[in-house]
């Protein structure tokens, strides 16, 4: 009852502004109802490189100059990518240097068994260096998955609150339900099962240079992690898609009924009906802007670790291909095993990002029912 009353007040406010044909003021009035200080604080704490805050970004979108904002331009993205590219190139050089050392060791004869001992020992040493190289990426990816979960918690009250105020209570409830599913089951599954399997599999494969029994166990763990990840993602997306269609239809019906009811009131021609239309447009505009801001928040927080993991994974795979003719198969397998580990971690992180974005997606989807 209270929520319906609030919706009524917001609608009346919007109609009042729309009646005076001042859409800008209507949007500004709606923006005043959204409190984004928590988002701003979170954004500043997580990443200092992006200078535009979510509240500024929301205002920028509603005034159609989002991409003119400092810190959200293509230049900022390029500035973000170039150190990553440089560091990947340095990693390739380091790995090729290690491949050269292994190639020099391949020159030792097996007659006195010195060659075999040296190659085995060098492989262990090189594995240690590669593990150290992957360590920061693994830590960053795990922390990013945790951060995505906490970002969802931050987004939920603001977006769900605004949806309820906009008369889309069902979509608001869907958002809460989807967030519970995401944080309590899917992200927990990622943190407790998929990521440990990926890391353990990678470490075992590296210890064995992709050849022995340990490597087989490692590959099995990777396959299991991939299977669980695929199943969890598919189930989540299926459930969310069904729920969002149902919630969208219910809210769409409510909004259409409201519009129809307003249109049927005989008030000075079609003045009231047009005012309600304008009010709905204002609500839709702010709702979409809020959804976009939420997506930007998720992507900007998770983009850096994902890009970094992608670059390191690419560096490892490129080095594996380049070094195989030089240092032989065992070294290349070592690099491939570590690349596979990072690939699986990257997939987990991307899945977490995609599922969080899918949680926000119904905020935009409602527009088509109105």
Please give the residue ranges that form the binding site for other proteins (CB under 8 A). 90-91, 93-94, 97-98, 100-101, 104-105, 108-109, 112-115, 117-118, 121-122, 124-129, 131-135, 138-139, 142, 191-192, 195-196, 198-200, 203, 206-207
Q: What angle do CA 218, 121, 110 make, to 5 degrees?
A: 110
- In DSSP terms, which residues pair with 267 in a beta bridge? 270
Measured from the CB atom, the residue of 147 and 275 that comes closer to other proteins is 147
Count of CA atoms in the C-beta half-sphere (13 A) of 336: 18
Cβ 343 to other proteins, closest distance in Å?
15
Helix (H), strand (E), coil (C) string for 35-69 = CCHHHHHHHHHHCCCCCCCHHHHHHHHHCCCHHHC
Cβ 129 to other proteins, closest distance in Å?
6
Measured from the CB atom, the residue of 183 and 275 that comes closer to other proteins is 183
193 DSSP 8-state letter: I
Cβ 179 to other proteins, closest distance in Å?
20
Instruction: Yes or no: say if 182 and 309 are a contact pair by the CB < 8 Å rule.
Output: no
Cβ 320 to other proteins, closest distance in Å?
18
Query: How far is residue 6's CA from residue 8's CA, in Å, rounded to a whole number?
Result: 5
Cβ 339 to other proteins, closest distance in Å?
15
Cβ 347 to other proteins, closest distance in Å?
15
Measured from the CB atom, the residue of 138 and 290 that comes closer to other proteins is 138
Measured from the CB atom, the residue of 72 and 95 that comes closer to other proteins is 95
Structural tokens at position 7: 């919706």
Helices (H), 52-167: 54-62, 74-106, 114-165
Measured from the CB atom, the residue of 175 and 194 that comes closer to other proteins is 194
Measured from the CB atom, the residue of 199 and 363 that comes closer to other proteins is 199
SS3 354: helix
Axis crossing angle, helix 114-165 with helix 271-327, rounded to the nearest 10: 180
């Amino acid at each position: 009852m209270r929520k319906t009353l609030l919706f009524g007040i917001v609608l009346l406010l919007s109609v009042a502004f729309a009646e005076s044909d001042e859409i800008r003021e209507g949007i500004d009035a709606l923006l005043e109802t959204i409190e984004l200080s928590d988002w701003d604080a979170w954004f500043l704490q997580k990443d200092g490189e992006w200078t535009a805050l979510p509240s500024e970004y929301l205002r920028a979108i509603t005034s159609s100059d989002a991409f003119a904002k400092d810190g959200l331009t293509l230049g900022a993205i390029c500035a973000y990518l170039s150190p990553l590219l440089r560091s990947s190139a340095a990693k390739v050089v380091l790995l090729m240097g290690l491949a050269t050392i292994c190639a020099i060791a391949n020159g030792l004869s097996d007659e006195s068994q010195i060659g075999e001992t040296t190659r085995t020992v060098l492989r262990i040493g090189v594995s240690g260096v590669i593990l150290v190289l992957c360590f920061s990426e693994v830590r960053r990816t795990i922390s990013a998955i945790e951060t995505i979960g906490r970002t969802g918690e931050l987004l939920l009250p603001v977006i769900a609150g605004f949806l309820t105020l906009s008369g889309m209570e069902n979509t608001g409830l869907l958002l809460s339900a989807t967030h519970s599913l995401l944080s309590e089951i899917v992200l927990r599954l990622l943190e407790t099962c998929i990521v440990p399997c990926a890391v353990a599999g990678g470490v075992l494969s590296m210890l064995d240079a992709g050849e022995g029994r340990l490597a087989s166990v490692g590959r099995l763990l990777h396959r299991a992690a991939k299977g669980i990840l695929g199943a969890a993602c598919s189930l989540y997306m299926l459930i969310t898609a069904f729920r969002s269609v149902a919630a969208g239809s219910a809210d769409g019906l409510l909004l259409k009924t409201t519009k129809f009811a307003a249109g049927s009131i005989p008030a000075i021609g079609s003045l009231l009906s047009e005012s309600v239309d304008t009010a709905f447009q204002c609500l839709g505009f702010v709702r979409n802007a809020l959804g976009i801001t939420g997506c930007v928040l998720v992507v900007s927080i998770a983009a850096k670790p994902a890009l970094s993991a992608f670059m390191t994974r690419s560096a490892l795979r490129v080095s594996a291909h380049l070094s195989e003719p030089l240092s032989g198969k065992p070294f290349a397998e070592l690099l491939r095993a570590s690349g596979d580990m990072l690939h699986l971690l990257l997939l987990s992180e991307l899945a977490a990002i995609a599922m969080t974005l899918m949680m926000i997606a119904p905020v935009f989807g409602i527009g088509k029912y109105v």
